[in-house]
Structure 1
């Protein structure tokens, strides 16, 4: 849980979900440690990275381990107005963090502020303030804020749930912020219930001629909204009935959410039936003591098709109903073993969801008091022996590193032996380096091809109607596109158009398309925001890239373009354009690398 935080805190984009998950997992982790009785001030001086797969050892910069009197900033007591609202907290934080703390923010992806009260307060205040400002006038949230944005049930439910969890963990939230979000969700649910009731009339009488916008069954979004509303005792029982009736048409994720709804409504009989329905997808491996849900592959790119999120919600359901069930511990082990990036899972969203479920699991099972001796053997020889207990859980030496001549060719056997009580989580990591001059295109389910064009002015005279109805000749700015091949030359000052052609084999949602522009080229347009250049996208202009956030991408071929101005002479290389699922990073494709020369204008 701790080692996920640098990734979440330093994630570079600012959509609603990532703004929430930049601080909420840190709050949950810090509160979990505090409830364990861990002295965070002592642990801050030196701690162990509990995931040995990451090369970072969890050490802070030297001056972060100094005594308080020698640090470059002072520790200040919280103000009397703390807890009255995000603006009060943010104002106080801004006054009491000096330039050193500001410089430390974002200096390293391994920076972890969880043991620093001042820094944690700043992160929390920034996150709450940003989410409050991103709330739309109707009470909901969209993917981003600003002109052209609209509230969506998925993002509104995420934020209301997240702020509710934060508030339960003593984070000050303005009451109206959550309440307005709940009211938006209640309005959404009311509308969907009207459609479902209209669908019932069609079930009873196929010839019924009523409203055109009826629905025949409840869906996964209904389950998510119902779960969040149930946390506020605001869910309509009629929606619970529809969800239970239509549970066979829900995803595994949706069924687990429905189970949580039934549990909060103290409907044990129907809850247990839903758990049995979910466990039809449960698989276990007796050899390594893991359990997981094997989800159908039909909709894995949608939010309700995320296997990690589905297992996290299922874990929350198990922890709420039977926390000491063997399946729960096996599910935790499977999730820990399958972090695709060492310390986090696929995305900010599923990582935050897993952290939340882990916090519930630790609280319910008491898995915070280990007492054991662990031996690591390689080819039958003991290479390391470590004693682990509650006092040294964050300071024991947990890394065995082999490098250079110690890594020999052939097969090797690694053994981990435990004496005592407590779980042992371990991983093995192998890395190597290779050189590749020209990066070539790759991708399967989604692909991107990039083309460069030099634009030449080719103004046209067109006939338009004048203010008196007469025909008037008017000059219109036009450009002729001259295709550029790899290794071709352009002149500084030339206007270049970049076209990215996306080939999608399925309907997808929430994708990130990024063009890594060549050095010495600057975007002709200077403003970020929503654009309609072939596809509707939220565009961010960054120093080294141009990012396009695509909320929806239909099956087929699409193109999106933007313009650059060549400025600095020299030989330049544009790294491949990439496209990936924001919440399914295994959905990925990239274009060819492109090289060109910029000549100085004479």
Structure 2
């Protein structure tokens, strides 16, 4: 049995004590002041302090199978005129009703005439607090006793009392006791968490008789409007059947039930149940929310258009089929249609630059990237004055520098405050808003100087860099920093500073020496042969970083090793990953080795995929545990290779599309990814930042003019948003044409919001898709079997069902919210929120009253299946709603399942 309460530390010094309580009936609303803690007579004269006392209610009632083997997992509001505590607190009292044979009365109570009972005088229980009291500091009186004065709540359940005491000299002790509150005649309704309009359901109530005689009487269910408290039983299909007769055997229980149909026009009801048999009575009164059978559905399609060749217009057409066919549904009501477009998303990469200023850890890589960001910003300000103008415009716009997690709240399935990602959204916004400082030339110069001096001090005497100060030399970090200085040099950033020259010269000498030591170690190996494959990741990174400094000659002592690693790269590149192959191609090209670099890029080109939306990419470019398994950095180096080795400008422009599309659905949260992506976008191919034309949009045969219709246009990105409401929306608006008149790419989304009945909602798919199936779980001699539910085999109360949700995505995505609605006649067996891992996907699962919610921080492209169990708790016909999934970072990527109706019982 589950209980809430206090967990106490082990007793260090103990002394004896006792707990006393009256066994008199506890009447709700009346105080009890006779529970007493008694001190041991042998104690000294020091005052004892009973420092913590609490009574907390249990969460489950341990009554038997009176409902055919199903016990409601949560004690509902149950209230009653006066319960008894049987026995003293020092012992436990509980009632079990096992193996009850429920007869015809289970189907609705007895119809036989009984003497009329006046149910209007029955007091109903309404106080279901789960904590009776908590007294953090109590002192004993002169007799060594503590008197607890409290009013017990009205729940029929088991309670646990815990107490901890200590004396002035720190002697300690603790006690724990349980008690059951009950009545001679008890009502235990099995009510749902919520009801939904249009559902038909059965409401069972167990009537327990603890006396030694048969109790015959009447029980009545009254339904009230929760806001006006006026009776509405008739509207729910209850007439004369609201009052039933019952007969409860001695020391046993019986069950009655009512069938109700949930009407419209009510947001919540209060159910009031009263039962009476002679001098015995009980009643309970609690509200239940009513959910509508219509919901606001948001459907969206991502839209894009790319003009990588330039010199002409590029056009792309899109169709939202369900919007075009919306007139066929008599119950569908348009709410809102929203179109948003970003004409030049290349600026989003520039917005990411301030994140490089953040280095929460004093490691060499992040200190270097702080220098890198400031040096790059300085170069941008001097070479592209328009960037400074655009950033100044962003500073005056409240939304331009907001995180994608914080934008478009009205188009998302959940407010950001209701997700685990509030801090991530705030952090990204804060990073972007630091652009106010980012382009201050004086600040940039000062930050560069600080970072460069820190970096110089971290460099070990042999020229290597550690990861953190005090650690040993790290070849990867040294090569990474060396290649970073090479990037800056190619971007036109001045690197002739004496400190930079000293850092790079020392790092080059170390790199040559380390490569030579690795070669000499190999030569000492048994069966060493230069024809074997010894090409390590460190050696590849060495050749790549060293290739930026070809004017620095390799010292004589390392020349053999240098030649050896070049030959290894020529011979064994086929067995390496994408990033390493691109590094080898670049290094060999810069070392003026013919043939192999072109062979590598040809192979890479043959293995690439190209699409209108995603541009050019590689299926195997996935995240992993190794430094070379980083998709953003890999794409950036592949762009570098295609640009330098083959001069394939079209491929470079297509690869830019993929790189930017990752920014659409992900936050470049790491300094390495941001640095490499910004370098690739600014250094390689055409300058997309020069684009200033807005993408042309034609919707429903009409061309939009955001400049004249009052839409706010964001500087740089050319972002704008336009909306239509209600009767302004027509089916022909499902046809959209985008035209890009200058070089680059543009993207956006069309969002259609409408109200529809749950059972009429049909599936909607996108690049992020979702489907749901409901299975009955059975245990056979062959093990557990799952069968899809169907009208031919309806569910029964007590059945366990399994919900299977299949997710598909054609790209890596972050910050995904999945919501699976639940019918009113089902109860989740998973009650606690927590992180889980299933089918290769990690997520946070959170059960709520009407749905199960999944929060997925990161999801790689692929297919995943999530499943969770439910228990059938009520008979009836229930709308199970739909399942929805949406990227909180890019809400245009969304999907939902069909609406399901589930039948339980006859």
TM-score by length of 1: 0.54
Q: Aligned pairs, how many?
A: 379
The aligned residue for residue 34 of structure 1 is 382
Output the CA distance in 2 between the equivalents of 1:53 and 1:44. 10
The aligned residue for residue 355 of structure 1 is 678
The aligned residue for residue 2 of structure 1 is 350
- Using the TM superposition, give the Cα deviation of residue 165 of structure 1 relative to its aligned residue in structure 2, in angstroms: 3.5
Output the CA distance in 2 between the equivalents of 1:315 and 1:145. 33
Assess, with a 3 A threshold, how the Cα gap between structure 1 residues 366 and 163 changes in structure 2: closer, same or farther.
closer
The aligned residue for residue 506 of structure 2 is 180
Q: What does residue range 238-277 of structure 1 map to in structure 2 within 5 Å?
A: 238-277=564-603
| Equivalent position to 1:115, from 439, 456, 463 | 439
- The question of whether the paired residues in 2 share the 8 Å contact of 1:227 and 1:260 is answered with yes
Assess, with a 3 A threshold, how the Cα gap between structure 1 residues 276 and 153 changes in structure 2: closer, same or farther.
same
Assess, with a 3 A threshold, how the Cα gap between structure 1 residues 419 and 359 changes in structure 2: closer, same or farther.
closer
The aligned residue for residue 293 of structure 1 is 618
Assess, with a 3 A threshold, how the Cα gap between structure 1 residues 346 and 416 changes in structure 2: closer, same or farther.
farther
- Using the TM superposition, give the Cα deviation of residue 375 of structure 1 relative to its aligned residue in structure 2, in angstroms: 2.4
Output the CA distance in 1 between the equivalents of 2:394 and 2:843. 43
- The question of whether the paired residues in 2 share the 8 Å contact of 1:371 and 1:420 is answered with no
Assess, with a 3 A threshold, how the Cα gap between structure 1 residues 278 and 108 changes in structure 2: closer, same or farther.
closer
- The question of whether the paired residues in 2 share the 8 Å contact of 1:196 and 1:216 is answered with no
- Using the TM superposition, give the Cα deviation of residue 258 of structure 1 relative to its aligned residue in structure 2, in angstroms: 0.4
Output the CA distance in 1 between the equivalents of 2:731 and 2:377. 41
- Using the TM superposition, give the Cα deviation of residue 29 of structure 1 relative to its aligned residue in structure 2, in angstroms: 4.7
The aligned residue for residue 16 of structure 1 is 364
Give yes or no for the alignment of 1:136 onto 2:484.
no
- Using the TM superposition, give the Cα deviation of residue 401 of structure 1 relative to its aligned residue in structure 2, in angstroms: 6.1
- Using the TM superposition, give the Cα deviation of residue 23 of structure 1 relative to its aligned residue in structure 2, in angstroms: 3.5
Give yes or no for the alignment of 1:370 onto 2:663.
no
- Using the TM superposition, give the Cα deviation of residue 394 of structure 1 relative to its aligned residue in structure 2, in angstroms: 4.5
Assess, with a 3 A threshold, how the Cα gap between structure 1 residues 54 and 371 changes in structure 2: closer, same or farther.
closer
Q: What does residue range 373-388 of structure 1 map to in structure 2 within 5 Å?
A: 373-377=694-698, 381-385=702-706
Output the CA distance in 1 between the equivalents of 2:629 and 2:680. 18
1:432-478, Cα deviation, whole Å (9 max, x unpaired): 9999x9641234569899xxxxxxxxxxxxxxxxxxxxxxxxxxxxx
- The question of whether the paired residues in 1 share the 8 Å contact of 2:357 and 2:373 is answered with no
Output the CA distance in 2 between the equivalents of 1:407 and 1:223. 60
Assess, with a 3 A threshold, how the Cα gap between structure 1 residues 427 and 132 changes in structure 2: closer, same or farther.
farther
Output the CA distance in 1 between the equivalents of 2:730 and 2:514. 61
List runs of 5+ in structure 2 lacking aligned partners. Answer: 1-348, 405-428, 555-561, 752-814, 820-830, 845-906
Q: What SS class does the counterpart of residue 433 from structure 2 fall into? A: coil
- The question of whether the paired residues in 2 share the 8 Å contact of 1:308 and 1:350 is answered with yes
Q: What RMSD over aligned residues (CA atoms) do the two structures have, in Å?
A: 4.3
Bigger radius of gyration among the two = 2
The aligned residue for residue 217 of structure 1 is 534
1:366-403, Cα deviation, whole Å (9 max, x unpaired): 4454364422455655454469xxxx995575231659
Output the CA distance in 2 between the equivalents of 1:290 and 1:198. 48
- The question of whether the paired residues in 1 share the 8 Å contact of 2:394 and 2:400 is answered with no
The aligned residue for residue 212 of structure 1 is none
| Equivalent position to 2:720, from 399, 419, 437 | 399
Q: What SS class does the counterpart of residue 741 from structure 2 fall into? A: strand
1:309-345, Cα deviation, whole Å (9 max, x unpaired): 1111110111223445321111100110112665x43
- Using the TM superposition, give the Cα deviation of residue 42 of structure 1 relative to its aligned residue in structure 2, in angstroms: 4.2
- Using the TM superposition, give the Cα deviation of residue 142 of structure 1 relative to its aligned residue in structure 2, in angstroms: 2.1
Output the CA distance in 2 between the equivalents of 1:120 and 1:164. 20
Q: Per residue, is there more strand in 1 or in 2?
A: 2
- The question of whether the paired residues in 2 share the 8 Å contact of 1:374 and 1:416 is answered with no
- Using the TM superposition, give the Cα deviation of residue 359 of structure 1 relative to its aligned residue in structure 2, in angstroms: 1.9
- The question of whether the paired residues in 2 share the 8 Å contact of 1:300 and 1:306 is answered with yes
Larger RCO, structure (CA 8 Å, separation 6 or more)? 2
- Using the TM superposition, give the Cα deviation of residue 154 of structure 1 relative to its aligned residue in structure 2, in angstroms: 0.8
Output the CA distance in 2 between the equivalents of 1:322 and 1:313. 14
Assess, with a 3 A threshold, how the Cα gap between structure 1 residues 173 and 365 changes in structure 2: closer, same or farther.
farther
The aligned residue for residue 160 of structure 1 is 482
- The question of whether the paired residues in 2 share the 8 Å contact of 1:220 and 1:251 is answered with no
Assess, with a 3 A threshold, how the Cα gap between structure 1 residues 232 and 420 changes in structure 2: closer, same or farther.
same
- Using the TM superposition, give the Cα deviation of residue 169 of structure 1 relative to its aligned residue in structure 2, in angstroms: 0.6
Assess, with a 3 A threshold, how the Cα gap between structure 1 residues 248 and 372 changes in structure 2: closer, same or farther.
same
Output the CA distance in 1 between the equivalents of 2:674 and 2:529. 41
Q: What does residue range 535-550 of structure 1 map to in structure 2 within 5 Å?
A: none
List runs of 5+ in structure 1 lacking aligned partners. Answer: 58-105, 206-214, 450-602
Output the CA distance in 1 between the equivalents of 2:730 and 2:520. 67
- Using the TM superposition, give the Cα deviation of residue 48 of structure 1 relative to its aligned residue in structure 2, in angstroms: 8.5
Output the CA distance in 1 between the equivalents of 2:654 and 2:451. 33
Q: What SS class does the counterpart of residue 400 from structure 1 fall into? A: strand
Output the CA distance in 1 between the equivalents of 2:530 and 2:354. 55
Q: Per residue, is there more helix in 1 or in 2?
A: 1
Assess, with a 3 A threshold, how the Cα gap between structure 1 residues 283 and 447 changes in structure 2: closer, same or farther.
closer
- The question of whether the paired residues in 1 share the 8 Å contact of 2:692 and 2:718 is answered with no
- Using the TM superposition, give the Cα deviation of residue 195 of structure 1 relative to its aligned residue in structure 2, in angstroms: 3.8
Output the CA distance in 2 between the equivalents of 1:28 and 1:114. 11
Q: What SS class does the counterpart of residue 124 from structure 1 fall into? A: helix
The aligned residue for residue 600 of structure 1 is none
| Equivalent position to 1:417, from 703, 724, 738 | 738
Output the CA distance in 2 between the equivalents of 1:323 and 1:406. 53
Output the CA distance in 1 between the equivalents of 2:728 and 2:395. 24
